[in-house]
């Protein structure tokens, strides 16, 4: 009987553990280079992959994270991603990167979430005010001033941001625990959705006049990703 109880407990813990891990699943082969043309593909891990024998160095390569981007936009920042869309060899490997350029005097990577990944960010140039907000019921703001060489972690799914508080440009490199972390810019999602969220819903949620919501929904919501 004890053996049965042990088996039931083991199965329960195994199932609980399977739900506890929110990162990309582990691959069942060395790599799975993503491919759109299925003619020369094999089906592994639920995805079409290039035949491993046809894999090339270019499938695992990306050039451009050393290039400064133009931050002349309303929010003063630009993201250069290096995820599975740019590097097909990242498929199933559960990791990706991005470069973030911030304009001087207030360039901001506005409040956003990455629904599928934890982010770790290192500052290369400039000074950033970075932070995230914990979930309900605390909604606690955790922030830090970051200088070159400093590293900060943004837990998966939480609202996060970075602001350039220096007088010169800032640059950071971010790494993610997913090949495709996804991004939800809060302002874009709430006020710039297609079709738009009903203004009376937002007016009630934010406790503001409906005219304010109508005004915000008419703005151009910049997407720096």
For position 42, what pLDDT does the model report? 62
Percent of the chain clearing pLDDT 70 (strictly above): 80
Q: Is the preceding peptide bond at 137 cis, omega within 30 degrees of 0?
A: yes
The phi, psi pair for 55, rounded to 5°, reads: -65, 140
The pLDDT assigned to 224 comes to 65
59 prior amide bond cis, ω within 30: no
Higher-pLDDT residue of 46 and 210 is 210
Asked whether residue 214 carries a pLDDT value surpassing 60, the answer given is: yes
pLDDT value of position 67: 97
What is the pLDDT at residue 177? 96
Instruction: Count the neighbouring beta carbons within 10 Å of the beta carbon of residue 162.
Output: 26
Q: What are phi and psi of 188, to 5 degrees?
A: -60, -45
Q: What's the pLDDT at 40?
A: 60
Contact 121, 105 (CB under 8 A): no
Tell whether 5 is in a known binding site. no
Are the C-beta atoms of residues 103 and 88 closer than 8 Å to each other?
no
Burial class (CB in 10 A: 0-12, 13-18, 19+), 136: exposed
Whole-prediction pTM? 0.83
* pLDDT tens sequence across 95-106: 999 999 999 999
Residue 119 neighbours by CB under 8 Å, 6+ apart: 153, 154, 160, 174, 175, 176, 177, 181
Tell me: pLDDT of 54 over 60.
yes
pLDDT tens per residue across span 1-53: 555 444 444 444 344 444 445 567 666 677 888 887 766 666 555 567 888 88
**Which of 139-148, 184-193, 214-223 is modeled with the greatest confidence?**
139-148
Contact 131, 155 (CB under 8 A): no
Phi, psi of 18 (to 5 degrees): -65, -30
DSSP secondary structure code for residue 158 in this structure: S
On whether 215 is known to bind a ligand per the annotation, the reply is: no
109 is in an annotated binding site: yes
Residue tagged 């990455």 (tokens): 114
């Amino acid at each position: 009987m004890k053996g049965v109880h042990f088996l039931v407990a083991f199965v329960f813990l195994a199932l609980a553990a399977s739900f506890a891990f929110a990162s990309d699943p582990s691959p069942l082969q060395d790599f799975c280079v993503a491919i759109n043309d299925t003619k020369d593909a094999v089906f592994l891990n639920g995805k079409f992959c290039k035949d491993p024998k046809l894999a090339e160095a270019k499938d695992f390569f990306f050039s451009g994270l050393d290039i400064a981007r133009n931050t002349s936009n309303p929010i003063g920042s630009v993201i250069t991603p290096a995820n599975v869309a740019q590097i097909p060899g990242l498929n199933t490997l559960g990791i990706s990167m991005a470069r973030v350029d911030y304009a001087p005097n207030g360039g901001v990577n506005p409040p956003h979430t990455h629904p599928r990944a934890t982010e770790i960010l290192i500052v290369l140039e400039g000074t950033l005010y970075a932070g995230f907000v914990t979930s309900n019921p605390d909604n606690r703001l955790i922030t830090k001033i970051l200088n070159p060489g400093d590293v900060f972690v943004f837990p998966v799914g939480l609202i996060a941001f970075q602001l350039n508080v220096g007088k010169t440009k800032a640059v950071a490199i971010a790494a993610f625990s997913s090949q495709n972390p996804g991004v939800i810019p809060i302002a874009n999602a709430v006020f710039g959705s297609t079709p738009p969220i009903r203004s009376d819903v937002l007016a009630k949620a934010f406790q503001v006049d409906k005219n304010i919501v109508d005004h915000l929904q008419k703005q151009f919501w910049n997407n720096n990703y």
